[in-house]
Chains A and B, each alone.
Chain A
Protein backbone atom coordinates (compact mmCIF):
# COMPACT_ATOMS: atom_id res chain seq x y z
CA UNK A 1 0.00 0.00 0.00
CA UNK A 2 1.32 3.42 -0.91
CA UNK A 3 1.26 6.51 1.25
CA UNK A 4 -1.95 8.46 0.67
CA UNK A 5 -0.05 11.73 0.70
CA UNK A 6 2.90 11.28 -1.62
CA UNK A 7 1.76 8.13 -3.45
CA UNK A 8 5.43 7.21 -3.71
CA UNK A 9 6.64 5.62 -0.51
CA UNK A 10 4.98 2.63 1.13
CA UNK A 11 2.48 3.56 3.83
CA UNK A 12 3.93 2.37 7.10
CA UNK A 13 1.75 4.36 9.44
CA UNK A 14 -1.84 3.33 9.66
CA UNK A 15 -4.14 5.35 11.83
CA UNK A 16 -7.55 4.23 12.90
CA UNK A 17 -9.67 6.70 14.78
CA UNK A 18 -13.11 6.10 16.11
CA UNK A 19 -15.20 9.23 16.40
CA UNK A 20 -18.83 8.90 17.44
CA UNK A 21 -18.71 5.20 16.62
CA UNK A 22 -17.54 5.89 13.09
CA UNK A 23 -14.22 4.49 12.05
CA UNK A 24 -11.70 6.36 9.93
CA UNK A 25 -8.39 5.16 8.63
CA UNK A 26 -5.37 6.99 7.27
CA UNK A 27 -2.29 5.41 5.69
CA UNK A 28 0.88 7.45 5.53
CA UNK A 29 4.58 6.95 5.03
CA UNK A 30 6.87 8.05 7.82
CA UNK A 31 8.15 11.11 5.97
CA UNK A 32 4.72 12.51 5.24
CA UNK A 33 3.47 11.64 8.70
CA UNK A 34 6.35 13.55 10.26
CA UNK A 35 5.94 16.48 7.93
CA UNK A 36 2.29 16.65 8.78
CA UNK A 37 2.80 16.04 12.46
CA UNK A 38 -0.05 13.77 11.50
CA UNK A 39 -2.24 16.64 10.59
CA UNK A 40 -4.70 15.13 8.24
CA UNK A 41 -4.74 14.36 4.56
CA UNK A 42 -7.33 16.11 2.45
CA UNK A 43 -10.78 14.65 2.70
CA UNK A 44 -10.54 13.69 6.31
CA UNK A 45 -11.11 17.13 7.74
CA UNK A 46 -14.56 17.00 6.15
CA UNK A 47 -15.33 14.04 8.34
CA UNK A 48 -15.02 16.04 11.50
CA UNK A 49 -11.72 14.38 12.32
CA UNK A 50 -10.14 16.19 15.22
CA UNK A 51 -6.58 16.82 14.13
CA UNK A 52 -5.39 18.90 17.05
CA UNK A 53 -2.48 17.52 19.03
CA UNK A 54 -1.79 14.47 16.90
CA UNK A 55 1.78 13.18 16.65
CA UNK A 56 3.58 10.06 15.53
CA UNK A 57 4.52 9.13 19.07
CA UNK A 58 1.01 9.59 20.36
CA UNK A 59 -0.35 7.74 17.43
CA UNK A 60 1.74 4.64 17.95
CA UNK A 61 1.32 4.60 21.68
CA UNK A 62 -2.41 4.97 21.12
CA UNK A 63 -2.23 1.74 19.15
CA UNK A 64 -1.18 0.03 22.33
CA UNK A 65 -3.37 1.84 24.81
CA UNK A 66 -4.83 -1.18 26.57
CA UNK A 67 -1.45 -2.74 27.20
CA UNK A 68 0.64 -1.33 29.98
CA UNK A 69 3.52 0.94 29.08
CA UNK A 70 5.87 -1.48 30.85
CA UNK A 71 4.75 -4.28 28.57
CA UNK A 72 5.45 -2.15 25.51
CA UNK A 73 8.94 -1.50 26.88
CA UNK A 74 9.52 -5.17 27.51
CA UNK A 75 8.35 -5.92 23.99
CA UNK A 76 10.86 -3.44 22.54
CA UNK A 77 13.62 -5.85 23.44
CA UNK A 78 11.81 -9.02 22.42
CA UNK A 79 13.04 -10.43 19.13
CA UNK A 80 11.52 -13.01 16.83
CA UNK A 81 13.47 -16.28 17.03
CA UNK A 82 13.02 -16.98 13.37
CA UNK A 83 13.88 -13.68 11.65
CA UNK A 84 15.36 -11.52 14.43
CA UNK A 85 12.86 -8.68 14.02
CA UNK A 86 12.23 -6.68 17.19
CA UNK A 87 8.90 -5.14 18.07
CA UNK A 88 10.58 -1.77 17.79
CA UNK A 89 11.50 -2.57 14.17
CA UNK A 90 7.90 -3.43 13.52
CA UNK A 91 6.64 -0.14 14.93
CA UNK A 92 9.09 1.73 12.70
CA UNK A 93 8.31 -0.09 9.46
CA UNK A 94 4.78 -1.42 9.98
CA UNK A 95 5.92 -4.78 8.64
CA UNK A 96 6.58 -8.06 10.38
CA UNK A 97 9.62 -10.11 9.40
CA UNK A 98 8.09 -13.56 9.00
CA UNK A 99 4.98 -15.57 9.82
CA UNK A 100 6.51 -16.53 13.20
CA UNK A 101 6.46 -12.87 14.29
CA UNK A 102 2.70 -13.19 14.74
CA UNK A 103 3.40 -15.81 17.38
CA UNK A 104 6.35 -13.98 18.94
CA UNK A 105 4.35 -10.79 19.40
CA UNK A 106 1.00 -12.44 20.02
CA UNK A 107 0.34 -10.47 23.20
CA UNK A 108 0.35 -7.28 21.16
CA UNK A 109 -1.70 -8.71 18.35
CA UNK A 110 -5.28 -8.42 19.57
CA UNK A 111 -5.29 -4.71 20.36
CA UNK A 112 -3.45 -4.04 17.12
CA UNK A 113 -5.87 -6.06 14.97
CA UNK A 114 -8.87 -4.64 16.74
CA UNK A 115 -7.69 -1.15 15.90
CA UNK A 116 -7.01 -1.96 12.27
CA UNK A 117 -9.94 -4.25 11.46
CA UNK A 118 -12.36 -3.93 14.34
CA UNK A 119 -12.19 -7.74 14.66
CA UNK A 120 -9.67 -10.29 15.86
CA UNK A 121 -11.01 -13.49 14.30
CA UNK A 122 -10.72 -14.76 10.74
CA UNK A 123 -13.99 -16.11 9.35
CA UNK A 124 -13.03 -16.55 5.71
CA UNK A 125 -11.29 -19.19 3.64
CA UNK A 126 -9.34 -22.00 5.31
CA UNK A 127 -6.66 -23.84 3.32
CA UNK A 128 -7.73 -27.39 2.48
CA UNK A 129 -4.63 -28.91 4.03
CA UNK A 130 -5.52 -27.36 7.40
CA UNK A 131 -8.32 -29.90 7.47
CA UNK A 132 -12.06 -30.26 7.32
CA UNK A 133 -12.69 -29.71 11.04
CA UNK A 134 -11.58 -26.10 10.99
CA UNK A 135 -13.45 -25.43 7.76
CA UNK A 136 -16.66 -26.70 9.33
CA UNK A 137 -16.04 -24.74 12.52
CA UNK A 138 -15.54 -21.56 10.48
CA UNK A 139 -18.75 -22.15 8.60
CA UNK A 140 -20.58 -22.67 11.91
CA UNK A 141 -19.12 -19.43 13.30
CA UNK A 142 -20.13 -17.56 10.18
CA UNK A 143 -23.68 -18.96 10.33
CA UNK A 144 -23.98 -18.08 14.01
CA UNK A 145 -23.26 -14.47 13.07
CA UNK A 146 -25.90 -14.65 10.37
CA UNK A 147 -28.35 -16.23 12.81
CA UNK A 148 -27.88 -13.33 15.21
CA UNK A 149 -28.46 -10.86 12.39
CA UNK A 150 -31.64 -12.66 11.37
CA UNK A 151 -32.93 -12.65 14.95
CA UNK A 152 -32.11 -8.95 15.35
CA UNK A 153 -33.99 -8.23 12.15
CA UNK A 154 -36.88 -10.39 13.45
CA UNK A 155 -36.65 -12.60 10.36
CA UNK A 156 -37.54 -15.76 12.24
CA UNK A 157 -38.15 -17.96 9.21
CA UNK A 158 -34.67 -17.26 7.91
CA UNK A 159 -33.30 -17.77 11.42
CA UNK A 160 -34.89 -21.24 11.60
CA UNK A 161 -33.27 -22.25 8.30
CA UNK A 162 -29.87 -21.07 9.52
CA UNK A 163 -30.33 -22.83 12.87
CA UNK A 164 -31.01 -26.12 11.06
CA UNK A 165 -27.91 -25.66 8.93
CA UNK A 166 -25.82 -25.12 12.06
CA UNK A 167 -27.24 -28.29 13.62
CA UNK A 168 -26.44 -30.26 10.51
CA UNK A 169 -22.87 -28.97 10.41
CA UNK A 170 -22.35 -29.74 14.09
CA UNK A 171 -23.52 -33.29 13.51
CA UNK A 172 -21.16 -33.79 10.58
CA UNK A 173 -18.35 -32.35 12.69
CA UNK A 174 -19.06 -34.81 15.50
CA UNK A 175 -19.33 -37.67 13.03
CA UNK A 176 -15.91 -36.81 11.67
CA UNK A 177 -14.52 -36.79 15.21
CA UNK A 178 -15.88 -40.29 15.81
CA UNK A 179 -14.34 -41.47 12.54
CA UNK A 180 -11.01 -40.23 13.75
CA UNK A 181 -11.41 -41.97 17.12
CA UNK A 182 -12.11 -45.33 15.52
CA UNK A 183 -9.23 -45.03 13.04
Chain B
Protein backbone atom coordinates (compact mmCIF):
# COMPACT_ATOMS: atom_id res chain seq x y z
CA UNK B 1 0.00 0.00 0.00
CA UNK B 2 1.88 3.05 -1.27
CA UNK B 3 1.23 6.65 -0.33
CA UNK B 4 -0.85 6.98 -3.54
CA UNK B 5 -3.34 4.44 -2.23
CA UNK B 6 -3.54 6.22 1.10
CA UNK B 7 -4.48 9.39 -0.76
CA UNK B 8 -7.35 7.90 -2.75
CA UNK B 9 -10.40 9.49 -1.05
CA UNK B 10 -12.56 6.39 -1.57
CA UNK B 11 -10.04 4.46 0.58
CA UNK B 12 -10.49 6.86 3.48
CA UNK B 13 -13.54 5.63 5.34
CA UNK B 14 -14.05 8.66 7.55
CA UNK B 15 -14.45 11.00 4.59
CA UNK B 16 -15.95 8.65 2.00
CA UNK B 17 -18.74 7.01 4.00
CA UNK B 18 -21.62 8.68 5.78
CA UNK B 19 -21.99 8.26 9.55
CA UNK B 20 -24.62 9.29 12.11
CA UNK B 21 -25.06 13.09 11.97
CA UNK B 22 -22.13 13.39 9.59
CA UNK B 23 -23.51 16.63 8.16
CA UNK B 24 -22.25 18.36 11.32
CA UNK B 25 -20.02 15.82 13.04
CA UNK B 26 -17.36 15.11 10.41
CA UNK B 27 -15.54 12.46 12.40
CA UNK B 28 -15.15 10.76 15.78
CA UNK B 29 -11.73 9.81 17.06
CA UNK B 30 -10.53 7.90 20.10
CA UNK B 31 -6.89 7.56 20.99
CA UNK B 32 -5.13 5.57 23.70
CA UNK B 33 -1.65 6.33 25.02
CA UNK B 34 0.27 3.21 26.01
CA UNK B 35 3.87 2.58 27.08
CA UNK B 36 6.04 -0.45 27.48
CA UNK B 37 6.92 -1.14 31.09
CA UNK B 38 10.36 -0.32 32.44
CA UNK B 39 12.05 1.15 29.37
CA UNK B 40 12.60 4.88 28.82
CA UNK B 41 9.84 6.90 27.15
CA UNK B 42 10.55 7.85 23.51
CA UNK B 43 12.28 11.17 24.26
CA UNK B 44 14.99 9.28 26.19
CA UNK B 45 14.91 6.04 24.25
CA UNK B 46 18.02 4.81 22.37
CA UNK B 47 17.47 4.19 18.65
CA UNK B 48 17.96 0.43 18.89
CA UNK B 49 15.28 -0.02 21.55
CA UNK B 50 12.95 2.24 19.59
CA UNK B 51 13.34 -0.04 16.59
CA UNK B 52 12.60 -3.09 18.71
CA UNK B 53 9.29 -1.58 19.80
CA UNK B 54 8.31 -0.88 16.19
CA UNK B 55 9.19 -4.45 15.26
CA UNK B 56 7.26 -5.98 18.18
CA UNK B 57 4.13 -3.93 17.59
CA UNK B 58 4.20 -4.61 13.86
CA UNK B 59 4.68 -8.36 14.35
CA UNK B 60 1.91 -8.57 16.94
CA UNK B 61 -0.55 -6.93 14.57
CA UNK B 62 0.66 -8.93 11.56
CA UNK B 63 -0.07 -12.13 13.46
CA UNK B 64 -3.73 -11.19 13.91
CA UNK B 65 -6.14 -12.98 11.59
CA UNK B 66 -8.30 -9.91 10.92
CA UNK B 67 -5.85 -7.04 10.91
CA UNK B 68 -2.70 -8.81 9.76
CA UNK B 69 -3.23 -8.60 6.02
CA UNK B 70 -4.61 -5.08 6.04
CA UNK B 71 -1.89 -2.99 7.60
CA UNK B 72 1.09 -1.05 6.38
CA UNK B 73 4.05 0.30 8.34
CA UNK B 74 5.70 3.64 7.53
CA UNK B 75 9.00 4.58 9.18
CA UNK B 76 9.44 8.33 9.59
CA UNK B 77 13.18 8.08 8.84
CA UNK B 78 12.41 6.62 5.41
CA UNK B 79 9.64 9.00 4.35
CA UNK B 80 10.30 12.15 2.34
CA UNK B 81 9.31 15.38 4.10
CA UNK B 82 6.29 16.01 1.84
CA UNK B 83 4.81 12.61 2.64
CA UNK B 84 5.10 13.25 6.35
CA UNK B 85 3.24 16.54 5.94
CA UNK B 86 0.66 14.69 3.87
CA UNK B 87 0.10 12.08 6.58
CA UNK B 88 -0.39 14.79 9.17
CA UNK B 89 -2.81 16.70 6.89
CA UNK B 90 -4.76 13.45 6.69
CA UNK B 91 -4.80 13.20 10.52
CA UNK B 92 -2.97 9.86 10.39
CA UNK B 93 0.04 11.18 12.29
CA UNK B 94 0.76 14.19 14.50
CA UNK B 95 3.29 16.89 13.58
CA UNK B 96 5.30 15.63 16.59
CA UNK B 97 5.63 12.17 15.09
CA UNK B 98 6.64 13.65 11.72
CA UNK B 99 9.67 15.25 13.37
CA UNK B 100 10.69 12.17 15.38
CA UNK B 101 13.49 10.20 13.73
CA UNK B 102 12.61 7.00 15.60
CA UNK B 103 8.91 7.32 14.86
CA UNK B 104 6.70 5.06 12.78
CA UNK B 105 3.03 4.66 12.01
CA UNK B 106 0.92 1.62 11.17
CA UNK B 107 -2.21 2.33 9.14
CA UNK B 108 -4.97 -0.09 8.14
CA UNK B 109 -6.59 -0.28 4.73
CA UNK B 110 -9.61 1.95 5.26
CA UNK B 111 -7.50 4.35 7.36
CA UNK B 112 -9.75 4.03 10.39
CA UNK B 113 -6.84 2.76 12.50
CA UNK B 114 -3.50 4.46 12.89
CA UNK B 115 -0.95 3.43 15.47
CA UNK B 116 1.82 5.92 16.07
CA UNK B 117 4.96 4.43 17.57
CA UNK B 118 7.55 6.47 19.50
CA UNK B 119 5.64 9.70 19.53
CA UNK B 120 5.37 11.27 23.03
CA UNK B 121 4.42 7.80 24.28
CA UNK B 122 5.60 4.46 22.92
CA UNK B 123 2.17 3.86 21.44
CA UNK B 124 -0.60 6.20 20.43
CA UNK B 125 -3.42 4.05 19.10
CA UNK B 126 -6.09 5.91 17.17
CA UNK B 127 -9.42 4.91 15.67
CA UNK B 128 -11.29 7.39 13.49
CA UNK B 129 -14.84 6.90 12.13
CA UNK B 130 -17.23 9.12 10.16
CA UNK B 131 -19.99 10.96 12.02
CA UNK B 132 -20.82 10.71 15.70
CA UNK B 133 -19.67 7.20 16.61
CA UNK B 134 -17.35 7.59 19.58
CA UNK B 135 -18.88 4.50 21.19
CA UNK B 136 -18.15 2.40 18.10
CA UNK B 137 -14.66 3.84 17.84
CA UNK B 138 -14.07 2.93 21.49
CA UNK B 139 -15.25 -0.66 20.97
CA UNK B 140 -12.83 -1.02 18.11
CA UNK B 141 -9.87 0.54 19.87
CA UNK B 142 -10.52 -1.56 22.98
CA UNK B 143 -10.09 -4.71 20.85
CA UNK B 144 -6.82 -3.46 19.36
CA UNK B 145 -5.61 -2.60 22.86
CA UNK B 146 -6.48 -6.13 24.07
CA UNK B 147 -4.66 -7.60 21.10
CA UNK B 148 -1.51 -5.60 21.83
CA UNK B 149 -1.58 -6.06 25.60
CA UNK B 150 -1.61 -9.84 25.15
CA UNK B 151 1.92 -9.59 23.74
CA UNK B 152 3.34 -6.35 25.12
CA UNK B 153 3.93 -5.54 28.78
CA UNK B 154 2.18 -2.19 29.15
CA UNK B 155 3.17 0.16 31.97
CA UNK B 156 0.24 0.09 34.36
CA UNK B 157 -0.10 1.08 37.99
CA UNK B 158 -2.90 -0.35 40.13
CA UNK B 159 -3.62 3.03 41.62
CA UNK B 160 -3.15 5.52 38.80
CA UNK B 161 -3.70 3.35 35.74
CA UNK B 162 -1.81 3.48 32.45
CA UNK B 163 1.44 5.41 32.84
CA UNK B 164 2.26 8.04 30.24
CA UNK B 165 5.18 10.37 29.50
CA UNK B 166 3.09 13.39 30.43
CA UNK B 167 0.99 13.13 33.60
CA UNK B 168 -1.89 14.90 31.81
CA UNK B 169 -2.62 11.59 30.01
CA UNK B 170 -2.24 9.20 32.93
CA UNK B 171 -5.11 6.88 33.98
CA UNK B 172 -7.12 5.80 30.96
CA UNK B 173 -4.61 7.38 28.56
CA UNK B 174 -7.68 8.11 26.49
CA UNK B 175 -8.63 11.14 24.47
CA UNK B 176 -12.05 11.01 22.81
CA UNK B 177 -12.71 13.76 20.28
CA UNK B 178 -15.11 14.80 17.58
CA UNK B 179 -14.53 17.13 14.64
CA UNK B 180 -17.54 19.40 14.18
CA UNK B 181 -18.53 21.82 11.44
CA UNK B 182 -20.21 24.76 13.19
CA UNK B 183 -20.55 27.63 10.73
CA UNK B 184 -23.77 29.12 12.08
CA UNK B 185 -22.80 29.04 15.75
CA UNK B 186 -19.55 30.72 14.69
CA UNK B 187 -21.41 33.33 12.64
CA UNK B 188 -23.70 34.06 15.59
CA UNK B 189 -20.69 34.56 17.85
CA UNK B 190 -21.74 31.68 20.10
CA UNK B 191 -18.45 29.79 20.19
CA UNK B 192 -16.96 31.85 23.06
CA UNK B 193 -19.93 30.91 25.20
CA UNK B 194 -19.59 27.24 24.25
CA UNK B 195 -15.86 27.25 25.04
CA UNK B 196 -16.64 28.61 28.50
CA UNK B 197 -19.49 26.23 29.22
CA UNK B 198 -17.87 23.00 28.21
CA UNK B 199 -14.63 23.71 30.07
CA UNK B 200 -16.74 23.36 33.20
CA UNK B 201 -17.50 19.73 32.39
CA UNK B 202 -13.87 18.82 31.79
CA UNK B 203 -13.92 19.16 28.00
CA UNK B 204 -12.05 21.44 25.62
CA UNK B 205 -12.85 22.92 22.22
CA UNK B 206 -10.21 24.08 19.81
CA UNK B 207 -10.20 25.16 16.18
CA UNK B 208 -8.86 22.49 13.83
CA UNK B 209 -7.26 25.13 11.61
CA UNK B 210 -6.58 28.08 13.94
CA UNK B 211 -8.12 29.25 17.20
CA UNK B 212 -11.29 31.05 18.24
CA UNK B 213 -12.97 33.23 15.65
CA UNK B 214 -10.00 32.51 13.38
CA UNK B 215 -11.01 28.84 13.14
CA UNK B 216 -10.71 28.38 9.37
CA UNK B 217 -13.40 26.27 7.77
CA UNK B 218 -15.49 26.59 10.97
CA UNK B 219 -14.10 23.24 12.07
CA UNK B 220 -13.71 22.53 15.77
CA UNK B 221 -12.42 19.66 17.83
CA UNK B 222 -14.13 18.82 21.09
CA UNK B 223 -12.37 16.44 23.46
CA UNK B 224 -12.02 15.35 27.05
CA UNK B 225 -9.31 17.01 29.09
CA UNK B 226 -9.31 14.72 32.12
CA UNK B 227 -8.05 11.14 31.75
CA UNK B 228 -7.86 10.01 35.39
CA UNK B 229 -10.66 9.15 37.80
CA UNK B 230 -13.30 8.48 35.15
CA UNK B 231 -13.98 5.26 33.29
CA UNK B 232 -13.56 5.10 29.52
CA UNK B 233 -17.32 4.63 29.08
CA UNK B 234 -18.10 7.70 31.20
CA UNK B 235 -15.66 9.82 29.22
CA UNK B 236 -17.14 8.65 25.91
CA UNK B 237 -20.70 9.32 27.11
CA UNK B 238 -19.72 12.74 28.40
CA UNK B 239 -18.17 13.83 25.09
CA UNK B 240 -21.06 12.34 23.10
CA UNK B 241 -23.66 14.07 25.27
CA UNK B 242 -22.02 17.47 24.92
CA UNK B 243 -21.54 16.92 21.18
CA UNK B 244 -25.25 16.17 20.77
CA UNK B 245 -26.17 19.37 22.59
CA UNK B 246 -23.91 21.50 20.41
CA UNK B 247 -25.18 19.68 17.34
CA UNK B 248 -28.76 20.42 18.29
CA UNK B 249 -28.13 24.10 18.86
CA UNK B 250 -26.32 24.41 15.50
CA UNK B 251 -29.31 22.71 13.80
CA UNK B 252 -31.87 24.79 15.64
CA UNK B 253 -30.31 28.09 14.72
CA UNK B 254 -30.05 26.95 11.09
CA UNK B 255 -33.75 26.11 11.05
CA UNK B 256 -34.84 29.28 12.79
CA UNK B 257 -32.89 31.68 10.59
CA UNK B 258 -35.37 33.89 8.83
CA UNK B 259 -35.80 37.27 7.18
CA UNK B 260 -32.75 39.32 6.39
CA UNK B 261 -30.34 37.04 8.29
CA UNK B 262 -31.38 34.09 6.17
CA UNK B 263 -31.15 36.03 2.90
CA UNK B 264 -27.70 37.31 3.83
CA UNK B 265 -26.52 33.81 4.67
CA UNK B 266 -27.93 32.41 1.41
CA UNK B 267 -26.19 35.21 -0.46
CA UNK B 268 -22.88 34.41 1.20
CA UNK B 269 -23.27 30.70 0.47
CA UNK B 270 -24.12 31.23 -3.20
CA UNK B 271 -21.29 33.74 -3.67
CA UNK B 272 -18.86 31.23 -2.20
CA UNK B 273 -20.26 28.58 -4.52
CA UNK B 274 -19.72 31.00 -7.41
CA UNK B 275 -16.10 31.51 -6.39
CA UNK B 276 -15.36 27.79 -5.98
CA UNK B 277 -16.90 26.97 -9.35
CA UNK B 278 -15.09 29.78 -11.16
CA UNK B 279 -11.84 30.67 -9.39
CA UNK B 280 -8.59 30.27 -11.32
CA UNK B 281 -6.27 30.48 -8.32
CA UNK B 282 -7.13 29.62 -4.71
CA UNK B 283 -5.01 29.15 -1.55
CA UNK B 284 -5.77 26.35 0.91
CA UNK B 285 -6.79 28.83 3.62
CA UNK B 286 -9.17 30.67 1.29
CA UNK B 287 -10.57 27.39 0.02
CA UNK B 288 -11.42 26.24 3.58
CA UNK B 289 -13.73 29.22 4.11
CA UNK B 290 -15.60 28.69 0.81
CA UNK B 291 -15.81 24.91 1.24
CA UNK B 292 -17.38 25.55 4.66
CA UNK B 293 -19.98 27.88 3.11
CA UNK B 294 -20.81 25.51 0.26
CA UNK B 295 -21.06 22.59 2.66
CA UNK B 296 -23.51 24.60 4.77
CA UNK B 297 -25.46 25.38 1.57
CA UNK B 298 -25.69 21.71 0.69
CA UNK B 299 -26.64 20.70 4.25
CA UNK B 300 -29.37 23.38 4.40
CA UNK B 301 -30.73 22.44 0.97
CA UNK B 302 -29.80 25.81 -0.54
CA UNK B 303 -27.42 24.17 -3.01
CA UNK B 304 -28.90 21.06 -4.57
CA UNK B 305 -27.52 18.11 -6.55
CA UNK B 306 -24.18 18.12 -4.77
CA UNK B 307 -23.09 15.06 -2.82
CA UNK B 308 -22.54 16.20 0.83
CA UNK B 309 -19.57 13.88 1.34
CA UNK B 310 -17.69 15.55 -1.53
CA UNK B 311 -17.46 18.65 0.63
CA UNK B 312 -16.29 16.71 3.70
CA UNK B 313 -13.47 15.21 1.68
CA UNK B 314 -12.49 18.58 0.17
CA UNK B 315 -11.51 19.78 3.66
CA UNK B 316 -8.72 17.22 3.49
CA UNK B 317 -7.96 17.01 -0.22
CA UNK B 318 -7.25 20.73 -0.67
CA UNK B 319 -4.32 20.82 1.79
CA UNK B 320 -0.94 21.88 0.35
CA UNK B 321 0.74 18.48 0.72
CA UNK B 322 -2.28 16.66 -0.66
CA UNK B 323 -2.44 18.88 -3.77
CA UNK B 324 1.30 18.46 -4.21
CA UNK B 325 0.87 14.71 -3.87
CA UNK B 326 -1.91 14.15 -6.42
CA UNK B 327 -0.32 16.45 -9.00
CA UNK B 328 2.79 14.28 -8.73
CA UNK B 329 5.09 17.15 -9.72
CA UNK B 330 7.17 19.66 -7.80
CA UNK B 331 5.12 22.87 -7.73
CA UNK B 332 5.57 26.47 -6.59
CA UNK B 333 2.86 27.84 -4.28
CA UNK B 334 1.20 29.67 -7.20
CA UNK B 335 1.17 26.53 -9.34
CA UNK B 336 -0.38 24.69 -6.41
CA UNK B 337 -3.10 27.34 -6.03
CA UNK B 338 -3.85 27.00 -9.73
CA UNK B 339 -3.99 23.23 -9.50
CA UNK B 340 -6.19 23.41 -6.40
CA UNK B 341 -8.74 25.72 -8.04
CA UNK B 342 -8.91 23.33 -10.97
CA UNK B 343 -9.25 20.29 -8.71
CA UNK B 344 -12.11 21.86 -6.71
CA UNK B 345 -13.97 22.89 -9.89
CA UNK B 346 -13.85 19.34 -11.18
CA UNK B 347 -15.21 17.99 -7.90
CA UNK B 348 -18.16 20.35 -7.49
CA UNK B 349 -19.25 21.22 -11.03
CA UNK B 350 -22.21 19.23 -12.18
Among the stretches A92-100, A155-163, A174-182, the one at the interface with B is A92-100
In the complex formed, the residue of B with least CB distance to A133 is B158
CB distance from B154 to the nearest CB of A (A): 6
Cβ A127 vs Cβ B154 within 8 A: yes
Residues from 298 to 333 in B contacting A, C-beta threshold 8 Å? none
Residues from 96 to 142 in A contacting B, C-beta threshold 8 Å? 96-100, 102, 109, 112-113, 116-130, 134, 142
List, in ascending order, chain B residues with CB within 8 A of A102's CB: 157, 160, 163, 170
List, in ascending order, chain B residues with CB within 8 A of A60's CB: none
In the complex formed, the residue of A with least CB distance to B164 is A96
Given the known interface contacts A43-B195, A82-B38, the answer about A109 and B211 at a Cβ–Cβ threshold of 8 Å is no
Residues from 39 to 55 in B contacting A, C-beta threshold 8 Å? 39-41, 43-44
Cβ B161 vs Cβ A118 within 8 A: no
* B275 CB within 8 Å of chain A: no
Given the known interface contacts A119-B228, A128-B150, A134-B158, the answer about A10 and B163 at a Cβ–Cβ threshold of 8 Å is no
Residue from A8, A83, A113 within 8 A of B167 (CB atoms) = A113
Cβ B232 vs Cβ A124 within 8 A: yes
Cβ A116 vs Cβ B165 within 8 A: no
Residue from B95, B142, B168, B232 within 8 A of A116 (CB atoms) = B168
Given the known interface contacts A24-B199, A124-B161, the answer about A117 and B229 at a Cβ–Cβ threshold of 8 Å is yes
Residue from B40, B41, B96, B206 within 8 A of A4 (CB atoms) = B206
Cβ A82 vs Cβ B40 within 8 A: yes
Residues from 22 to 41 in A contacting B, C-beta threshold 8 Å? 22-25, 27
Cβ A98 vs Cβ B44 within 8 A: yes
Cβ A25 vs Cβ B159 within 8 A: no
Given the known interface contacts A47-B196, A122-B228, the answer about A2 and B95 at a Cβ–Cβ threshold of 8 Å is yes
* B226 CB within 8 Å of chain A: yes
CA distance in complex: A22, B197 (Å): 10
CA distance in complex: A125, B227 (Å): 12
In the complex formed, the residue of A with least CB distance to B44 is A97
List, in ascending order, chain A residues with CB within 8 A of B159's CB: 120-122
Cβ B229 vs Cβ A122 within 8 A: yes
Given the known interface contacts A10-B96, A121-B160, the answer about A96 and B41 at a Cβ–Cβ threshold of 8 Å is yes
Mask: chain B, 29-70; 1 = CB below 8 Å from A; 0 = not: 000000101111101100000000000000000000000000
CA distance in complex: A42, B158 (Å): 38
List, in ascending order, chain A residues with CB within 8 A of B284's CB: none
Cβ B156 vs Cβ A126 within 8 A: yes
Given A23-B199, A98-B39, A116-B168, output 6 extra A-B contacts at Cβ < 8 Å.
Answer: A7-B211, A8-B95, A117-B226, A122-B172, A127-B149, A142-B231
